[in-house]
Chain A
Amino acid sequence: MADAVVIPQVQPVQPALRFLRIVPGVLLLAAIGYAGKLLEVNVGKYAKSHHWVFPNIEYVLWAIVLGLLISNTIGVPEIFRSGVATYEFWLKAGIVLLGSRFLLGDILKLGGVSLVLVAVEIVGSLAFMTLLGRLFKLKPKLTTLLAVGSAVCGVSAIIATKGAIDADDEDSSFSIAAILALGTFALFTFPLIGHYLHLGDRAYGIWAGLAVDNTAEATAAGALYSDAAGKLAVLVKSTRNAMIGFVVLAYAIYWASQGQAKAVGNKAAFLWQKFPKFVLGFLLISVLATYSFFNKEQVGALANLSRWAFLLTFAGVGLRTNFRDMRKQGLRPFAVGAIGEVAIAIFTLGLVIGAEKLFGF
């Protein structure tokens, strides 16, 4: 099996021992994230005091770049790996806390628009990726995994679909590697394209949420543009994430009908199990914020807590990206993913610009 993405196997160990295992990695995430924050402030100050023309590089980018440097030079030692893998936990906790900065009315307005865009994006992306997979003669289940990863939500969707359609480990490893590599590429190119096209914060945020596959990368790509764009990217990406159960269920039923996967029993239980619970947490916090459960200072404190959680996430995005491992995966799935991602990025950009003109957000 290819070893691009190491999904840590949970051993039956005592909870206290499990907690101790993650401490070094979490401290590493915090150290890298905080170093990114210090670099943002101090590099800017140093450049200013020396009258250099130097772009303001946000902590988001510093944290990712520092993580990438460590991962691709000395590597991440074994002792840190369990803790580094918690970056998804911090991402989801950060998204829930970010709900305090959204009033329910905003969610209903933007969520309504984004729901339509997300539905169009998912249908278009699934159809296009399936066609590409057939053109490139990829294995059908590999094509399914790539299609779900590109259309819905990256790694989580691939892992959920793999179990539901009985796909090979190798296929899911290929798909995850392609989605991660392309997510890293999007992270650096999307803000540049957004600035080049003079996209507003809202249009850019919605575009990043629609087109960048993995939630961590979508959050980072949004935050790299602006705070407002980051908020929107998270909202739209969460709407996409909410669709995961329906898409996986549809594929599970299809592959079961082909006799190549187990039949789906209780569909409601299946949907609930696949539904990302952090979306519910995000909505709950925003309902509480809407009805003034938190005062202004408390909303500020929750927003800052959310930023700290994202800081650890961004460090983790860099640390888990290893270009050498990605290269080992072979070119064809990557080529299909790359062509598909470019097409989806152009397609969703058109959707966002069209919707902006239509709905005037």
Chain B
Amino acid sequence: MSAETNTGQDKKPWRLSLDSWAVVVALLAALLVRAGVFKHIPW
């Protein structure tokens, strides 16, 4: 068996995943709507 360990973590410099970016952007958008910066978003 390989002696290496699968930690589930890449050995790259730490950075946000696509998932986390999507959450950050969506939450930011929600806060801007809450703050009244975007009052009406048409569809």
- A→B interface (CB under 8 Å): 88-94, 96-97, 100, 164, 252, 256, 259, 261-266, 269-274, 276-278, 280-281, 284-285, 288, 293-294, 297-298, 300-302, 304-305, 307-309
Contacts and interface: CB of A to CB of B under 8 A. Distances in A.
B8 A264 contact: yes
Interface in B1-43: 1-2, 4-9, 17-23, 25-27, 29-30, 33-34, 38-43
A89 B21 contact: yes
A220 to B, nearest CB: 17
A288 B19 CA distance: 20
Given A294-B33, A305-B33, A277 B25 contact: no
A34 to B, nearest CB: 12
A263 B39 contact: no
Contact of A281 (B4, B5, B27): B27
Nearest to A255: B6
A285 to B, nearest CB: 6
15 contacts: A93-B22, A96-B23, A256-B6, A269-B8, A269-B9, A272-B8, A277-B17, A277-B23, A278-B22, A280-B23, A294-B34, A297-B40, A298-B34, A302-B29, A305-B29
A279 to B, nearest CB: 9
Contacts of A274: 8
A304 B41 CA distance: 6
Contact of A261 (B2, B21, B39, B40): B2
A269 B33 contact: no
A79 B30 CA distance: 31
B41 A96 contact: no
A92 B19 contact: yes
B13 to A, nearest CB: 10
Contact of B23 (A92, A265, A293): A92
Contacts of B4: 262-263
A89 B30 contact: no
Contacts of A298: 33-34
A266 B34 contact: no
Would you list the 9 A-B pairs with minimal beta carbon distance, nearest first?
Answer: A270-B8, A92-B22, A281-B23, A96-B26, A262-B6, A265-B5, A273-B8, A277-B19, A259-B1
A97 B26 contact: yes
Given A262-B2, A304-B43, A270 B7 contact: yes
Contact of B1 (A91, A263, A284): A263
A97 B8 contact: no
Contact of A93 (B26, B34, B39, B41): B26
A91 B25 CA distance: 12
Given A88-B18, A93-B25, A277-B19, A288 B6 contact: no
